[in-house]
Structure 1
Amino acid sequence: MDYMTISDASERWGISRRRIQVLCTEGRIEGAVKFGRQWAIPENANKPSDARIKTGKYIKGDIDL
């Protein structure tokens, strides 16, 4: 299996390297493995969907801002 670096995935998917690191840490990129301090992402991995809150409404708790 061929792997790509976080920088390669960043260019391919159009998102920051830091965001990809977070996705790898959260286990949201299927097949990503960590070797020491670096992540290896499978070449055929799909870009995960954006699960961040976009509506401005919080799911848990009643916080008024």
Structure 2
Amino acid sequence: MDYLSAKEVAEKWNISRRRVQLLCEEGRIEGAFKLSDVWVIPKDSTKPADRRKTKKEANE
């Protein structure tokens, strides 16, 4: 399996590196783990849904 760094995933998903790190810390990216001080994320991971959206907005 191929892995990407938080920086590479941030560029791929068009979000900040810090946001990717937070998603990893919260366990919201399946298969991500910390190797020394670096988050390692499976290449085929999908971006988690944004929890800030309400059900009403999602249904529109």
Q: What TM bracket, shorter-length normalisation?
A: 0.7 to 0.9
Q: Which runs of 4+ in 1 moved over 6 A?
A: none
Q: Which runs of 5+ in 1 are unaligned?
A: 56-65
Q: Which residue of 2 aligns with 1:2?
A: 2
What is the Cα deviation at residue 33 of structure 1? Answer: 0.8
- State percent identity of aligned pairs: 56
1:11-60 CA distance string (max 9 Å, x none): 100000000000000000000011111000000000011113x56xxxxx
Q: How many residues align?
A: 54
The letter of the residue matching 1:18 is: R
The letter of the residue matching 1:21 is: Q
TM-score, normalised to structure 1, is 0.78
Higher helix share: 2
The letter of the residue matching 1:51 is: R
Q: CA RMSD in A?
A: 1.1
Q: For 2:22 and 2:51, locate their aligned partners in 1 and report how far apart those are by CA, in whole Å.
A: 12
Q: Which residue of 1 aligns with 2:42?
A: 42
Larger radius of gyration: 1
Q: For 1:21 and 1:51, locate their aligned partners in 2 and report how far apart those are by CA, in whole Å.
A: 16
